[in-house]
Structure formats: C-alpha cells, structure tokens
Amino acid sequence: MGSLKSFLFWSAAAGFASGASLYSAVSFGYSFVFLLVLVGEVIYFLWRFSFRGSGLVLALAVYLVFVGLGAGRMEKTIRSDIRSLDGFLRQEVKLTGKVLKEPEFTEGGKRAVLKVQKVETLGDFSLRTKVLLYLPRYTDVQYGDVLIVEGKLAPAGGERGYRRYLEKDGIHYQIFEPRVVTRERGKGGALKEKLFELKGAFLTRLRESLGEPHASLAGGLVLGAGGSLGEKTERGFRRSGLIHIVVLSGYNIMLVAYFVMRALFFLPTFFSRSAAAGAVILFVVLSGGSATAVRAAIMATIALLARTAGHRYSLGRALALAGISMLLFNPRLLLSDVSFQLSFLATLALIALAPLLEGGFKKIRWLFFREIIVATVSVQLMVLPLLLYTAGQASLFGLVANVLVLPFVPAAMFLAFAAPLLAFVSEFLALPFFAALHWLLSYILSVSDFFGSLPFAAVEATISAPVLAVVYTLIFIFLRALWRKKLAAREAEERTILSEIERILLKKPLA
C-alpha cells in the first residue's frame, strides 16, 4: 500500500508539472481543462468498478486529473495577466505606484519594481500592472516607497529568455533612468521594512570593513546578495564554476535552522523546531525570496515539521512538494525561471545521483573531501545540459575549483555573519574576525580569478529544447534503472543476512 501511495504521489506531481508546461506552450482554454479532469474521473470510476487491482490505471487517472489542474492554474495565470499600458509604449508617461520589493543593485545601477496605481491621463489603474525601473546606483529608493516617476515606457526585457523571466512576475514594461518627481516613505509592510533595514545596515557594515568585491562576496555567501560583484568578478565565478556559492542555497537555510535550534536547546523540541521554521521563513523574506531560497525553505520547513510530528522525512517527496507548492503560487516558474530549474536539478542530483557515485570515490580517505567531490560531480553532471541550453557555456575546471574552495566556505559564512553583528557591539572585538574573513574571501576570489581567466576555462556550446528534453528523459530512465538495481541488491543482501541469523538461531548447518 505504501508503494502505491508513493506511485500516486509522483503521478500527481508529474501531472501538475506536465499541465503547467503544456499550457506554457499552447493554451486551449478552460474547456480543455475540464475535459482532462473529466477523462481522469472516468478512468477512476472504471478502475473502481472494473480494474480495482491495477495501480497503473489508478495512477493514470490521478495523472490526468492533475494535468488538468496544472493547466487550469496556468490558464488562470495567463488570464489575470494585464498589459493595459501597451498603448503608451515608447511614449513619455507619468506614473504613480509603490515599490514592491527591495531594489536590486546591478553593475551599472539599481533596479526597482513599481506596482502602478495611477497613470496621469487615466486616473486609477490596475494594481497588477508592474513596471521595472532602471535607476542610478545612488538613487534613494526603498521598499514600500510611493513614487511619482516620469520617463519613456518600453517593453520589458531584451532577449527572449530575460523577457520571459520578467513576465513570470507580471512585469511587461520598463523605464530607463526615470525621473523621480516625489516619494512617500513607509507604505510597505512593517515587518518587511524592519527586515530590509536590518539587512541594509548589515551589508553597509560589510562594505565599510571589507571593501569591494570582498563585501559583495560576503553578502552573497550569507544572504545571496552578490548582485554587485562586478562584471569581471562575476564572469570569473561563472567560468570557474563557483557562481553557486553567492546564490542563497539550502546550505544557508539549514545553517539558520541549526543555529536557532542550538540557541533554544533549553526549550521543548516542538518549540525549538517551530522557532527554527519561523526563522527560516523570515530569513527568506530578508534575502529577497529567490526561487532557490524558497525551495530550500520549504524543504527545510517540511523536514523540521516532519521530525517534530515524528514522521519519516523523504527528501524526494519534500522536493516534489516544494516544487508543486511554488508552481501553485506561480506556474510560470517551471519554464521561465532558470534559477528555479537549476536549483531543483541540483537538489535532485544530491538526492538521486550522489548516492550512486559514492562507491567510485571510496579510495579518497578524507570523508569531507570525498563528500565535496561526489556532490560537485553529481551536480555538474545533472545541470550541464540545462547550462548548455540556457547559457551556452559550462565550466571545465568546476570540480577542481570547488574542491579548493568549498572546504573554506562554512568558515567564511560564519565569519561573514558573526563579524558585522559583533561590530555593532564593539568594532575593536570585531577586527580579528574581519581580518580572518578578508583573508578567506581573498583566497576564494584568487581561485575564481585564476581558473576563470584560463583560456579554456569554459566550453561554449548550445543545444536545442528537443535535445534537452531527450537528454533529461534518458538521464531519468538511467537513474531509475540504477536505483532499481541498487535496491534489488540491497534487498538480496538483507535476505542473506536474515537467513544467516535464522540459521544461527535455529542452529541449522549450512546446506
């Protein structure tokens, strides 16, 4: 029964993802959605009265119903998309709106998302309309500000990939270097404002004590705030295969949960784990809520709640549940957000591929380095096809660079978190922490710069979408076959051990 439930769970997850993917390419309207759900229900009733013993028929019914639900969710998202400013494209406009998120620093300035409330010539306007503002770096704009801006309205994004990335958040327009006429502070959520104020003070302390690019690297390690590394430094991290360390990941999230639980060790387990789950959620809000961070937070929260309730925790199911939860909120993430795709493939590699590769690295005696190598190889193999499809580039020295850098990342993360906090209490006491942090960051930057500057540091090639689909289909089939073989071998070994125990207990001679 347990295996059937697992089969049905994966059928539902695959169905929802398939429905969202299908509707991203072709929209048939709600009638097609109802048809899919109806066919699934008919198959369910056939199973109930005629094929009761067939789990495959039941799984097909569940799959079709969830394909319909995924397609319906995407249809609802598409219908709620508003592009009512199309008539003002390439014209000067005057807009009133609220800054929805914390502005992001870029190489040349700052980006802010404006939720439009009013257009001068139209009066009140749809709250769903969003405009991306490209501002000078030192423009004093914060989350929750109500702005009146003037500028030339343009379609959002340039390349197709980036345009789709913006459209997933309902952003269809942009204004370069808008003129900020007036601003009004404090119109956002009070909790978010306090968290972003704390984050700003934290990052300012890092910049004052470390300078650039060290401060941006430290901010990326602890908060995923590495957006202002600079074009040359970021290019080095990408070519050396180290860019993932400045993106908020599950590692950062689990450290937050661990520290909270350790700090509240004197409380009952239920309260300490619940507090850890709450801290994880606040940390994700503080970091900006990227797809990677949200996925990691959902998985960490599921793990904490499962252990608190005394249930078994399945990494695979937690990953699927995290994905479906995010797609329920925004189904466009599946095909339009590369960070979402890379995050899930990397996590899947650690769950499904890394255990299969461990046997090939047993000769490496030091367990810590062995785990780093296995994890790096697994992730690199899993994400390589997607990197070739999206970026047309993959690092050739990623394994070596990661082996040299990753052992020092936990210490750098701890110092990058502890030093600024200690500086708020005593700058003198924080000096040795900042000195050690500066040395570690310099080492990481030097490794990135060395491997990133090699002439053949990265291979450049592209693959098409159909090839990508075929490659991952073959990878999943291959992984499934290997896991079935491994589980069969484990079951045979367990039967042998049980037989030996039974023979000893019954004192039977060997045949």
Domain locations along the chain:
2-79, 86-189, 242-333
Q: Average pLDDT of 455-462? A: 78
- Looking only at the bridges linking them, the beta strands covering 123-124 and 104-105 are unpaired
pTM: 0.75
440: pLDDT confidence band, cut at 50, 70 and 90?
A: very high
Cα–Cα distance, 36 to 46 (Å, whole number): 15
64: pLDDT confidence band, cut at 50, 70 and 90?
A: confident
- Under CATH, which architecture does the 86-189 domain have? Beta Barrel (2.40)
Model pLDDT, residue 443:
92
Burial (0-12, 13-18, 19+ Cβ within 10 Å), 452: buried
Cα–Cα distance, 189 to 145 (Å, whole number): 11
Which range is least confidently modeled, 233-237, 270-274, 329-333? 270-274
The pair of structure tokens assigned to 183 is: 């601003």
Cα–Cα distance, 164 to 169 (Å, whole number): 9
Percentage of the chain modeled with pLDDT above 90: 2
Residues 120, 156 contacting (CB under 8 angstroms): no
Q: Average pLDDT of 485-497? A: 76
221: pLDDT confidence band, cut at 50, 70 and 90?
A: confident
Sign of the C-alpha dihedral computed for residues 295, 297, 299 and 305 taken in this order: negative
- Looking only at the bridges linking them, the beta strands covering 171-176 and 130-135 are parallel
1: pLDDT confidence band, cut at 50, 70 and 90?
A: very low
- Residue among 113, 175, 125 nearest 150 (CA): 175
- Residue among 169, 177, 170, 174 nearest 157 (CA): 174
Residues 143, 289 contacting (CB under 8 angstroms): no
| Higher pLDDT among residues 321 and 257, named by residue | 321
| Higher pLDDT among residues 188 and 134, named by residue | 134
What's the whole-number average pLDDT of the chain?
77
pLDDT surpassing 90 at residue 439: yes
Q: Average pLDDT of 286-314? A: 64
pLDDT tens by residue, 367-424: 667 777 787 788 888 888 888 887 777 777 877 888 888 778 878 888 888 888 888 8
Model pLDDT, residue 324:
82
Phi, psi for residue 249 in degrees, rounded to 5 = -135, 180
Residues 161, 205 contacting (CB under 8 angstroms): no
Cα–Cα distance, 462 to 447 (Å, whole number): 27
The dihedral region occupied by 101, where left means phi > 0, alpha psi between -120 and 50, and beta the remainder, is beta
Q: Beta strands of 70-218 (E only): which ranges?
A: 92-99, 104-105, 110-119, 123-124, 130-135, 146-155, 171-176, 179-184
